């Protein structure tokens, strides 16, 4: 589903943000990507989503290789792999429903299906009753749910979540985690970056990949394979 092979990423003048990272995520798998701030988590997720290209090595996600996917084709990958941010990135001045239908509309959903499908997606994240509220009228946890509903609009195969609970309190964080677990139980592949070790410890069954200064130093599924 997602495979990184000897991936390095260098930002001019800043040294290596990633250094020879390799791992593989199977279909339906759930993994945490942990590490201190600045260890390369966001960079890793960004490369998988092809927001940027690796300096060396290869990233393959849902069959789309960083080496062979052109700028104009990235949209195909984006409809199979969705991205969730710590700061939600919702469109202000629109309702919860409008934020979801926006994603549906710009990816080709017929107009007459928009609101029914949007409402169904909001129901799936437990927000059916708040669909008409403006984004700023929602709590952080609710906003994150809207962004997850939006991420599900294209019926993706995988979710990349970059610190999705970073702005949320403990209760809301747990809610989001349960939502991810739920989706994962129904076959969704999930890769979630977090530096919240307490949260990671609360889910001992979930695979952990740990980055330190751009290197993969720990993989709970193969603890013997240490890069460092």
Partner 1 sequence: MHAIREALAAIRRAPLLTALSAAMVALALFVVGLFAVATYNLHEALSRVEERVEVVVYVRDDVMEAELQLLEEDLLEMEEVLGVRYLSKDDALAQAREDLPEFEELFMNLEVNPLPASVEVELRPGFRGPASVARVADRATIYPFVDDVRFGREWVDRLHLLRRMGGIATAVLGTAFGVVAALIIATAIRIALFARREEIYVMRLVGATHGFIRRPFLLEGALTGLLGGILAAVLTYVSHLAVSRLIFPLEWIPLEWMVAGIAAGGLFGLVASAFAIRRYLREV
Ligand X SMILES: Nc1ncnc2c1ncn2[C@@H]1O[C@H](COP(=O)(O)OP(=O)(O)O)[C@@H](O)[C@H]1O
Which residues contact Mg ion (rule: CB under 5 A)?
Answer: 42
With CB under 5 to 8 Å by kind, the binding choice for 40 among Mg ion, partner 1, ligand X, none is ligand X
With CB under 5 to 8 Å by kind, the binding choice for 43 among partner 1, ligand X, Mg ion, none is ligand X
Which of 68, 106, 134, 170 is in the footprint of partner 1 by CB under 8 A? Answer: 106
With CB under 5 to 8 Å by kind, the binding choice for 23 among ligand X, Mg ion, partner 1, none is none
Q: By rule CB under 8 A, what count of residues binds partner 1?
A: 23
Q: Which two structure tokens, joined as six digits, stand for 127?
A: 């927000």
What whole-number distance in Å separates Cα of residue 75 and Cα of residue 129? 31
- Nearest approach in angstroms of CB 49 to partner 1 is 8
Q: Are 155 and 6 in contact (CB under 8 A)?
A: no
DSSP E strands in the chain: the ranges are: 2-11, 15-25, 30-34, 56-61, 64-65, 81-84, 158-162, 189-193, 207-212, 215-219
What whole-number distance in Å separates Cα of residue 181 and Cα of residue 190? 9
Q: According to the binding rule CB under 8 A, does residue 120 interact with partner 1?
A: no
Q: Which two structure tokens, joined as six digits, stand for 220?
A: 């709970």
Burial of 159 (0-12, 13-18, 19+ CB in 10 A): buried
Q: At residue 132, what are phi and psi to the nearest 5 degrees?
A: -90, 0
Nearer to partner 1, 39 or 50 (CB): 50
58 beta partners: 5
- Nearest approach in angstroms of CB 76 to ligand X is 24
Nearer to Mg ion, 42 or 154 (CB): 42
Q: According to the binding rule CB under 8 A, does residue 16 interact with partner 1?
A: no
As a residue count, the chain comes to 228
Q: According to the binding rule CB under 8 A, does residue 32 interact with partner 1?
A: no
Nearer to partner 1, 105 or 196 (CB): 105
Q: Is 175 helix (H, G, I), strand (E, B) or coil?
A: helix
Q: Which stretch binds partner 1 (CB under 8 A): 11-19, 57-65, 82-90, 138-146?
A: 82-90
What whole-number distance in Å separates Cα of residue 4 and Cα of residue 59? 5
Site for partner 1, rule CB under 8 A: 71-72, 74-79, 82-83, 89, 91-92, 102-103, 105-108, 150-151, 153-154
């Amino acid at each position: 589903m997602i495979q990184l092979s000897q991936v390095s990423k260098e930002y001019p003048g800043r040294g290596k943000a990633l250094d020879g990272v390799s791992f593989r995520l199977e279909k339906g798998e759930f993994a945490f990507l942990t590490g201190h701030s600045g260890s390369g988590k966001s960079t890793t997720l960004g490369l998988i989503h092809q927001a940027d290209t690796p300096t060396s090595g290869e990233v393959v996600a849902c069959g789309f290789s960083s080496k062979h996917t052109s700028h104009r084709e990235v949209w195909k990958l984006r409809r199979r792999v969705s991205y969730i941010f710590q700061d939600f990135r919702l469109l202000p001045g629109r309702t919860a429903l409008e934020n979801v239908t926006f994603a549906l509309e710009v990816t080709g959903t017929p107009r007459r299906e928009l609101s029914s499908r949007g409402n169904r997606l909001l129901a799936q994240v437990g927000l059916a009753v708040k669909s008409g509220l403006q984004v700023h009228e929602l709590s952080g946890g609710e906003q994150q749910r809207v962004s997850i509903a939006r991420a599900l609009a294209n019926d993706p195969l995988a979710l990349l979540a970059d610190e999705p609970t970073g702005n949320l309190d403990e209760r809301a964080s747990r809610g989001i985690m349960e939502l991810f677990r739920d989706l994962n139980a129904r076959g969704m592949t999930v890769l979630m970056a977090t530096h919240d070790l307490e949260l990671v410890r609360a889910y001992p069954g979930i695979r952990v990949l740990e980055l330190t200064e751009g290197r993969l130093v720990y993989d709970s599924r193969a603890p013997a394979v240490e890069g460092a």
